Amino acid sequence: MKPQTGEFVEGLRNRKTQKLFICLEAASSPGKVRVINPDGDILVVMEELFDLEPVEVPLGEVERFFTAEQITCWRTYLTDEAER
């Protein structure tokens, strides 16, 4: 899994709840990934919680797939990363 760049946002579908999480990047620990949950929290969780196939969401359609909290957190994350 890679950081978000380009024309798509990578989403990961939780196997249990079927909710879509924004994938930020692979975490520093093997088998873990950094995501934004539907409540807008950044979490580091086990990859096995998600379907194997990521969902590519076009940038113009993020509002259809992700919550307002996720989008706000994602935009803040991108701004913070750009300032580093």
For the chain, the domains span: 8-83
The amino acid sitting at 5 is T
Of the candidates 52, 49, 8, 44, which has an alpha carbon nearest to the alpha carbon of residue 26? 44
Residue 3, pLDDT score: 44
Report strand pairing: 55-58 vs 32-36.
unpaired
Kindly give the parts of the chain with pLDDT less than 70: 1-5
Length of the chain: 84
The model carries a pTM of 0.88
Segment (H or E) for 22:
strand 20-26
Q: Which residues pair with 14 in a beta bridge?
A: 50
| Beta bridge partners of residue 9, listed in sequence order | 57
pLDDT for the residue numbered 81: 86
Instruction: Name which of 73, 62, 68, 22 is nearest 45 in CA terms.
Output: 22
**pLDDT of amino acid 24:** 94
